[in-house]
Amino acid sequence: MGLGEGKGKGVDLPALAFVPPNPKGEAVLYLHGVSMAEDAKVGSVIEKLIKEKNAIILAAELRGIGETETGHDKRDYGRGQFGRDVQEIFLAYLMGRSYTGMRTGDVAAWTGFLAGYKNAEGQNEIQLFALGEAAIPALHAAALDPERYSSVILSEMIASWAEIVSTPENFNQAASVVHGALKHYDLPDLIDMVGKNKVKTERRVDVMGRPWGKVSAPQKSEK
């Protein structure tokens, strides 16, 4: 799908749509932080969701994730310390924008696309699931338009941006921050905007990408 960027052509992003023969009144926007295909294999999470919910599943990618990831930083700049697509992240910053904001727009566009799928009962309720690098943009999208989502599940997300500025080192967080945001809000404030009864967080990680409470070094994938 081409997602609009001002007056330009837009950004082409891929997705995998799983539509059962007789879907019920629910749809899931599934945003993985590495690749849309990561959980789309036989016997994976998405297959289980389809069987359990008989729901439409849209496994979609945000810019810089999966097929649009450039990976420039893997060997030539920071060896992954600043995250994937580091050049694009800082180019957005120089333009006065944030990668998080751009990805939030991607989430909203995918939500609108998924809402176009109909079932016998009419409009689908949309459940938002986001994992890893996709979680913070998903939370922003839900906070900006909470009525569009019946529930929001965020996995492998840090609890607060304050954790980043209070620690001497972090890993792969550049794509998930908004410069100057802590003067105005933090991630828990966004959860309050969506509604604590609607948001579920699971498998929390620290700013190094480790499961909360673990001290082992994170694995740095390289291309």
CA distance 114 to 135: 18
Q: What is the pLDDT of residue 121?
A: 65
Q: What is the pLDDT of residue 77?
A: 56
Give me the helices (H) in the chain, please: 45-53, 73-76, 86-94, 99-115, 135-144, 162-165, 187-194
C-alpha distance from residue 10 to each of 67, 95, 110 (Å)? 16, 16, 14
Mean pLDDT of the residues in the chain: 84
180-204 pLDDT, tens per residue?
999 999 999 999 999 999 999 999 9
C-alpha angle 45-105-113 in degrees, rounded to nearest 5: 60
Q: What is the pLDDT of residue 4?
A: 45
Q: What is the pLDDT of residue 52?
A: 84
Low-confidence residues of the chain, pLDDT below 70? 1-9, 71-81, 83-84, 119-123, 213-223
Domains and CATH numbers, the chain: 14-70+99-202 (3.40.50.1820)
* pTM of the full structure: 0.86
